[in-house]
């Protein structure tokens, strides 16, 4: 009877079919994850040409599930940066803990609606707890709150829009915003999308450690006031993407308070290091912010798709995002219960809280803290080891777990040095045990190492050092 139904209604698989779907996928997933350390750190030669061959029209008929899985695991997934692997020291890794993947399966399978509290109060509360825990990590007082976004960029947009409404209301065209030259570009994007003219952004120069020059910030605020602008927001970086620099957040908080500015902290990469003793010390002042963003899909090792925006005054988010509609259920009036649609641009959305809640409840915070402590240690180790290699210049010491270096050769002009370092990076990455990415600092092409993934341990850092050493020998040898 049930089999006949499944044949008639293929979108409603029966128990056997459901198990088959999951088992077939799980066999391949487990084999994939177990082989991550042996997989190349990236494998994208010819991948774009291959991608072009995949364009196809809307399928009218179905195909074998097993064949589709094989195509995914054998042909499509391998042709990429191995962002889940231990050798991915590029951009900002996260790794992707498996427990969150299981949570996603549960959340998608039960498909409860958490956009409004009334539809699933207990599940909404579970997600609200996640936000409370993140506020606790940041050091925010009672009364703080926020929500989960798809990532740091959306979290930045939510924070900037809220700050705009709180401080400037509808008349904001003369409002000016202050960031360092090293700020993540999602800030400029958020400012633009929030309706500000791009020319209202003041990019303040950085010091030798790539931190915002607070003396120049104060001058810029004063200068703008005299010109009739309304200085209203300063963003501090709790770990820049380029070099991992942590702005002097305590000083920025003091300046913001004295000048009546909103103090926003971009902690997409760095804020969660506050779980560790060393991180908390380095991030001192973050707890004084009006808003903080952070990315569990970076430093809580979650799969891509989870950022968070946290506000010192939870009510501010509601004041910006709350809208009435007659077809929606009654919204909550108590502070303890949250309607996520009232504090974010989204109405319908995935039940994303579960992917953070499940691993944190299963393990508590300790293994996450240990992992982050290990990353701080590994960044120090890789810096010390690279410093021993003749020709290497450490351009940025790790303030958290990102460092930057380059090779120097006497007699070469800056342009030639940049070419030499481009060549060096290609040679390191060609070995495929690690993947590193560059940035440009005041015209200098430098190579970054970002240690974040929960799968990266000392053995992989030793491989990174070996590969850099071998590549440096090649580019500095008289024959090259």
Ligand X SMILES: Cc1ncc(COP(=O)(O)O)c(C=O)c1O
Residues that bind ligand X (rule: CB under 6 A) add up to a total of 12
What residues pair up with 6 in beta bridges, in sequence order? none
Q: Does residue number 151 form part of the binding site for ligand X (CB under 6 A)?
A: yes
Between 153 and 276, name the residue whose CB sits nearer to ligand X: 153
Which residues inside 219-278 make contact with ligand X, applying CB under 6 A?
241, 266, 268-269
Which residues inside 60-119 make contact with ligand X, applying CB under 6 A?
92
Separation of alpha carbons 126 and 130, rounded Å: 7
Separation of alpha carbons 267 and 31, rounded Å: 34
The contact pattern for ligand X, residues 185-224, with x = CB under 6 A and - = no contact, is -x--------------------------------------
Among 104, 127, 166, 295, binds ligand X (CB under 6 A): 295
Separation of alpha carbons 19 and 25, rounded Å: 10
CB of 193 to ligand X, least distance (A): 13
Between 179 and 471, name the residue whose CB sits nearer to ligand X: 179
Q: Name the DSSP class of 362.
A: H
Q: Does residue number 461 form part of the binding site for ligand X (CB under 6 A)?
A: no
What residues pair up with 478 in beta bridges, in sequence order? none
Element (H or E) spanning 231, and its range? strand 230-237
Strand order in the sheet with 230-237: 145-149, 307-311, 291-294, 262-267, 230-237, 175-180, 201-204
Q: Tell me the two tokens of residue 94.
A: 């996260």
Between 92 and 256, name the residue whose CB sits nearer to ligand X: 92
Between 245 and 255, name the residue whose CB sits nearer to ligand X: 245
Q: Tell me the two tokens of residue 405.
A: 């270096």
Separation of alpha carbons 461 and 457, rounded Å: 7
CB of 111 to ligand X, least distance (A): 25
* CB 217, CB 234: distance < 8 Å: yes
Q: Does residue number 375 form part of the binding site for ligand X (CB under 6 A)?
A: no
Separation of alpha carbons 29 and 23, rounded Å: 10
CB of 451 to ligand X, least distance (A): 14
Which residue in 266, 218, 264 sits closest to 242, CA to CA? Answer: 266
Among 42, 100, 153, 371, binds ligand X (CB under 6 A): 153
Between 302 and 392, name the residue whose CB sits nearer to ligand X: 302
CB of 153 to ligand X, least distance (A): 3
CB of 182 to ligand X, least distance (A): 9
Strands (E), 152-200: 175-180
Between 123 and 137, name the residue whose CB sits nearer to ligand X: 137
Sign of the CA dihedral running 269, 274, 276, 277: positive
The contact pattern for ligand X, residues 307-346, with x = CB under 6 A and - = no contact, is x---------------------------------------
Among 85, 94, 147, 152, binds ligand X (CB under 6 A): 152
Between 303 and 307, name the residue whose CB sits nearer to ligand X: 307
Among 184, 202, 448, 455, binds ligand X (CB under 6 A): 184
Which residue in 398, 138, 163 sits closest to 293, CA to CA? Answer: 138
Strand order in the sheet with 444-450: 392-396, 402-407, 444-450, 437-441
Contacting residues toward ligand X, per CB under 6 A = 92, 151-153, 184, 186, 241, 266, 268-269, 295, 307
């Amino acid at each position: 009877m049930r089999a006949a139904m499944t044949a008639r209604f293929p979108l409603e698989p029966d128990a056997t079919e459901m198990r088959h779907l999951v088992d077939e996928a799980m066999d391949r997933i487990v084999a994939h994850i177990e082989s991550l350390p042996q997989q190349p750190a990236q494998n994208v030669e010819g991948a774009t040409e291959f991608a072009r061959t995949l364009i196809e029209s809307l399928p009218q008929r179905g195909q074998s599930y097993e064949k589709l899985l094989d195509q995914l695991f054998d042909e499509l997934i391998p042709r990429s940066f191995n962002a889940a692997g231990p050798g991915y020291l590029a951009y900002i890794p996260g790794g992707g803990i498996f427990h969150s993947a299981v949570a996603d399966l549960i959340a998608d399978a039960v498909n409860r609606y958490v956009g409004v509290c009334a539809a699933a109060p207990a599940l909404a509360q579970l997600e609200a707890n996640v936000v409370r825990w993140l506020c606790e990590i940041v050091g925010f007082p009672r009364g703080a709150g926020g929500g989960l976004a798809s990532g740091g960029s959306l979290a930045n947009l939510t924070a900037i829009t809220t700050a705009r409404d709180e401080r400037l209301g509808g008349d904001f065209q003369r409002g000016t915003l202050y960031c360092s030259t090293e700020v993540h570009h999602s800030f400029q994007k958020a400012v633009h999308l929030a309706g500000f003219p791009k020319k209202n952004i003041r990019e303040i120069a950085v010091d030798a450690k790539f931190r915002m020059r607070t003396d120049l910030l104060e001058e810029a605020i004063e200068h703008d006031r005299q010109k009739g602008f309304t200085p209203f927001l300063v963003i501090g970086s709790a770990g820049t993407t380029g070099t991992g620099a942590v702005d002097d957040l305590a000083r920025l908080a003091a300046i913001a308070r004295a000048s009546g500015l909103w103090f926003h902290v971009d902690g997409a990469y760095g804020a969660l290091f506050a779980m560790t003793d060393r991180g908390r010390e380095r991030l001192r002042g973050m707890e004084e912010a009006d808003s903080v963003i952070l990315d569990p899909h970076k430093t809580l090792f979650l799969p891509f798709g989870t950022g968070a925006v946290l506000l010192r005054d939870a009510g501010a988010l509601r004041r910006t995002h709350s809208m009435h509609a007659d077809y929606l259920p009654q919204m909550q009036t108590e502070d303890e219960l949250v309607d996520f649609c009232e504090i974010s641009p989204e109405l319908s959305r995935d039940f994303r809280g579960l992917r953070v809640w499940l691993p944190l409840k299963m393990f508590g915070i300790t293994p996450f803290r240990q992992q982050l402590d290990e990353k701080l240690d590994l960044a120090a180790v890789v810096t010390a080891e690279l410093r021993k290699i003749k020709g290497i210049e450490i351009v940025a010491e790790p303030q958290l777990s990102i460092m930057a270096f380059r090779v120097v050769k006497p007699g070469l002009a800056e342009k030639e040095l940049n070419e030499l370092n481009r060549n060096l990076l290609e040679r390191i990455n060609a070995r495929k045990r690690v993947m590193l990415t560059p940035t440009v600092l005041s015209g200098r092409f430098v190579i970054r190492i970002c240690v974040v993934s929960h799968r990266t341990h000392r053995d992989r850092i030793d491989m990174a050092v070996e590969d850099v050493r071998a590549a440096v020998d090649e580019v500095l040898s008289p024959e090259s």
